[in-house]
Amino acid sequence: MPKPARTADGLDERTASDLSELFRTIGDTSRVRILAAVMAHECKVGDIAEAVGNSESAVSHHLRHLRQMRLVRARKAGREVFYSLDDDHVVALFKLGLEHVRHG
Amino acid sequence: MPKPARTADGLDERTASDLSELFRTIGDTSRVRILAAVMAHECKVGDIAEAVGNSESAVSHHLRHLRQMRLVRARKAGREVFYSLDDDHVVALFKLGLEHVRHG
DNA sequence: AAAATATATGAACAGATATTCATATATTAC
DNA sequence: GTAATATATGAATATCTGTTCATATATTTT
């Protein structure tokens, strides 16, 4: 099989791309707030929309994005869908990020 | 003084905005690679440009952005400018990010 | 002094992306 | 069955952002 394309700094292109995509996903104010809401406790879409002050449609779009990046997970209950964190990497990332912005 | 505007999830708007801005800064493939290069060892602009395969101008723009977010720091030596990490939050963020993308 | 080199910067353009709106799907209530 | 509710989705649009190009600044060399 072909060698992965390597940049001179030791990060292959695929990894750099994946990594940046992950951070880009968290790099949106609405999604940060959606994640913070979901982080506090399992939430259904409507409640998230109200909490972050976005339309349900916009939130739904964001949630799909977050799902695709495996940051949140959906649990269907009747006609409602409850979202929770998929793992706790996000919590750790938030903590580090906060350390930096609150004067790092 | 006025209370900071709070979202229902406990993140005030300013914090959510700052946090997302930080992640957005790392959420670009070129900047990820620039950071990786600088992370390995202090680099001057030209070398970074070559390492990541971007123009020096583009890299310079990115470096300004990274400087403004206090992610990298510049040291001037003659007509060259050497960049290094400003602190090690980025290293920790990269580690966590990699854990997530390499099967989260 | 001028020429050459390294980096920075502003403006402009191209491509990406968040939000809105209209509509679709799924589930429950009647 | 139909009506109502919750969420999802596609397309369109408006905004944001990365890169390029031209040019500016700073430093060294001759």
Least CA distance to B69: which residue of chain A? Answer: A101
Contacts with B52 from chain A: Cβ below 8 Å: 7-9
Give the H/E segment covering residue B26: helix B13-26
Q: For chain C, which bases have at least one atom within 7 A of a protein Cβ?
A: 5-11, 17-22, 26-28
Angle between helices B13-26 and A13-26 (to 10 degrees): 170
- The whole-number pLDDT of residue B103 equals 81
Per-residue pLDDT of chain B (104 residues; tens, 9 = 90+): 666 666 656 688 999 999 999 999 999 999 999 999 999 999 999 999 999 999 999 999 999 999 999 999 999 999 999 999 999 999 999 999 999 999 86
Distance in angstroms (rounded) separating the CA atoms of residues A26 and A71: 9
CA distance A65 to chain B (A): 15
Could you tell me if residue B30 is left (phi over 0), alpha (psi between -120 and 50 degrees) or otherwise beta? Answer: alpha
pLDDT at A3 over 70: no
Chain A residues 22-61 within 7 Å (CB) of strand C: 24, 28-30, 54-55, 57-58, 61
Cβ neighbours of residue B71 closer than 8 Å, sequence gap 6 or more: B25, B26, B35, B85, B86, B89, B90
- Going from the C-alpha of A68 to that of each of A63, A72, B16, B103, B104, the distances in angstroms are 8, 8, 22, 13, 12
Structural tokens at position A24: 């880009």
pLDDT tens for A7-56 read: 656 689 999 999 999 999 999 999 999 999 999 999 999 999 999 999 99
Quickly give A70 CA vs C25 C1' distance in Å. Answer: 23
